[in-house]
Amino acid sequence: MSLIETRFHQIYPVLDTAQIAVARRFASGETTRFKPGEALFDIGQANVPAWLILEGSAEITRRDGLNHEQAVVTLSAGHIIGEISQLAGRSTLAAGRAGSDGCTAVPFDAPHLRALVIGSAEIGELIMRAFILRRVALLESGNAGSVLIGRPDSADLVRLQGFLSRNGYPCTVLDASADGEGRTIVERLGVQPEDLPLMLCPNGTVIKRPTNAEAGVCLGITPDLNPDMIYDVVIVGAGPAGLATAVYSASEGLSVLVLDQRAVGGQAGASARIENYLGFPTGISGQALAGRAFVQAQKFGAEIAVPLEVARLNCGARKRALDSPLQLELTDGRSVRARTLVAASGVRYRRPDIANLAEFEGAGVSYWASPVEAKLCEGEEVALVGGGNSAGQAVVFLAPKVKRLHLIVRRADLASTMSRYLIDRIEALPNVEFHGHTEVTALHGDKTDGLTGATFVNHGSGVTTRRDLRHLFLFIGADPHADWLASAALVDDKGFLLTGGAFAGCANAPERAALPLETSMPGIFAIGDVRAGSTKRVAAAVGEGAAVVAQIHQLLAVKPAG
């Protein structure tokens, strides 16, 4: 049974008379009467209100990039029409039209909708649960959102699938090389192989071989930014640390912008199951945890902009006066300004010294294990390099889906680098073969076929082995993602950002004592994995994300609300 069938009353709750009366106090406009068939909003529209139906009915439909339209549900008096996109004024993934009897409804634009959700805890809980489940139902349906057409194992198609899935946007994938609708569309449009994959957006736009940034703009994932706005807090990185800062600072009335070059959740968002995070005894996927935090941040009014990458920080004026805004230059030419800046940009996995590694990145070599990669390697023999918790979570996730998994680590065992519960679980997996004291020294294949094999060397025995495999996962430690800031703030010998008193006595250290999570540049803070000395755990990152808000208030001399 589908999610709509099993949880219909939670996805489409009906407000009673008293709740309707409370909700109407938060409306952003006058009661409106729609004629039968008249549009309340259409797919792909931005900045459209959610609507509370008072009389009549409304029909909700979804549509994919091939213009296939399907009825979702008919709603009546007491129902609220909308979904997660409307909390932030983003492009909608569904359409609403008045039913055959017309519709009378009151509107709630994004600010008023957030005010309702916050102002009435009872109604807010109903709406937030409903909106989240509606997005999940759209993802489950498989026939909403954009359509991607290309070769299923191509690097660009895998990249786009990963980008959309990690940002919670549904898509349908069609094979351009097989007989069927995908090939027919490619031939009809006269698209050349080098122009694949195609992306067909629900608004009718067709893009050839889009970048993530182009896909984000087409689908309305990436918001417009006001160049004149000076935010109280700009957060670089939408992992657990950055999202925690967004939730706590926005809930206390600060204006907040979060930037991330890929997706919400950071590296934790790619974890199949996190089982040692407090409060989730059965575990939770990194994407589910990140998705909840993302919606929570939007609920309090934080702006989250993906995929936007920071090129550099311009802080010349800040060096002269603390009240001068910081300016972040983005790679797309835009800039944003902030009173304070939080670096939560995390780390990136290291690349082993293998001559032709870059040739296979995205074409057999992956740095995370999401459902997209798991589907590609289903039933095959794969290898995974790494001995940390992220590697362990990936092994546990992939092993049930593949024929055999070779776990390769340079150490003799996993005891010093991986949590015991993961080691125990891996040891119980019959199709995981452990290779200690071992490294991958060569990759085999070509641009046409992608990865076809790898050579392993056991440094203990000196034995060299070649394995035929088409998928290699790399989780071999991480380097700080702080290049964009390193010229402005002091770092340790590994490039991690120093905070608090860690740089006391260093050249260029500030005259005043830094706050505990403040870098050597006044008003710039570092939290999570990018910070020197941080504990590499999701709970620690969330804790630092909460703690830094109090220090931001102290710097801004703003008394926290409540």
Same domain, 212 and 254: no
Q: Which strands sit side by side in the sheet containing 206-208, from one edge to the other?
A: 171-175, 146-150, 198-200, 206-208
Confidence of residue 276 (pLDDT cuts 50, 70, 90): confident
Residue indicated by tokens 């289903």: 378
Look at residues 141, 176, 191 and tell me which one is the last residue of a structural domain: 141
Residue 251 included in any domain: yes
Residue 248 has pLDDT above 70, yes or no: yes
Residue 251 has pLDDT above 90, yes or no: yes
Chain mean pLDDT for the chain: 91
pLDDT of residue 317: 56
**Is this model's pTM higher than 0.95 or not?**
no
How many structural domains comprise the chain? 4
In terms of Cα–Cα distance, which of 524, 182, 175, 505 is closest to 339? 524
Same domain, 14 and 129: yes
Least confident of 179-183, 276-280, 439-443, 547-551: 179-183
Same domain, 382 and 461: yes
Same domain, 330 and 239: yes
Phi, psi (degrees; rounded to nearest 5) at 465: -130, 140
Helix, coil or strand: residue 97: strand
Domain boundaries, position 270: 230-347+524-556
* Rounded Cα distance, 338 and 235, in Å: 9
Which tens digits make up the pLDDT trace of 6-57?
899 999 999 999 999 999 999 999 999 999 999 999 988 889 999 999 999 9
Q: What percent of the chain has pLDDT over 90?
A: 68
pLDDT of residue 561: 45
Diameter of the chain measured on Cα atoms: 79
Residue 560 has pLDDT above 60, yes or no: no
The residue type of 466 is R
Which tens digits make up the pLDDT trace of 206-217?
999 999 999 999
Same domain, 377 and 343: no
Q: What are the CA-CA distances from residue 244 to residues 235, 250, 381, 519, 541 (Å)? A: 10, 10, 38, 19, 8
Residue 362 has pLDDT above 90, yes or no: no
pLDDT of residue 515: 92
Confidence of residue 178 (pLDDT cuts 50, 70, 90): confident
Same domain, 171 and 260: no
Helix (H) or strand (E) holding 256: strand 256-259
Q: What percent of the chain has pLDDT over 70?
A: 96
The mean pLDDT value for 454-458 works out to 95
**Cα–Cα–Cα angle for 71, 46, 232, rounded to 5 degrees:** 135
Residue 559 has pLDDT above 60, yes or no: no
Q: Are 539 and 238 in contact (CB under 8 A)?
A: no
Residue 512 has pLDDT above 80, yes or no: no
Residue 379 included in any domain: yes
pLDDT of residue 501: 75
Same domain, 136 and 152: no
Residue 547 included in any domain: yes
Q: Are 394 and 406 in contact (CB under 8 A)?
A: no
Q: Where are the beta strands (DSSP E) in 377-460?
A: 381-385, 404-408, 432-435, 438-446, 450-458
Same domain, 178 and 281: no
Look at residues 474, 499, 533 and tell me which one is the last residue of a structural domain: 474
The mean pLDDT value for 464-481 works out to 92
Which tens digits make up the pLDDT trace of 57-72?
999 998 877 777 889 9
Same domain, 295 and 396: no
Query: Residue 9 is part of a domain; what is its CATH number?
Result: 2.60.120.10
Q: Locate 536 and state its tokens.
A: 């590499």
DSSP 15-64: --HHHHHHHHTT-SS--EEE-TT-EEE-TT--SPPEEEEEEEEEEEEEEB
* Rounded Cα distance, 133 and 136, in Å: 5
Which tens digits make up the pLDDT trace of 277-305?
899 998 898 889 999 999 999 999 999 99
- Contacts of range 543-546, beta carbons closer than 8 Å, 24 or more positions apart: 543/244, 544/241, 544/244, 544/517, 545/240, 545/241, 545/242, 545/243, 545/244, 545/245, 545/246, 545/247, 545/248, 545/344, 546/244, 546/245, 546/248
Residue 23 included in any domain: yes
The mean pLDDT value for 348-364 works out to 89
Which of the two residues, 389 and 234, has the higher pLDDT score? 234
Same domain, 234 and 335: yes
Which tens digits make up the pLDDT trace of 111-139?
999 999 999 999 999 999 999 999 988 88
pLDDT of residue 558: 45
Residue 107 included in any domain: yes
DSSP 166-202: HTT--EEEEESSSTTHHHHHHHHHT--GGGPPEEE-T
Query: Residue 442 is part of a domain; what is its CATH number?
Result: 3.50.50.60
* Rounded Cα distance, 346 and 367, in Å: 15
Helix, coil or strand: residue 160: helix
Which tens digits make up the pLDDT trace of 406-425?
999 999 999 999 999 999 99
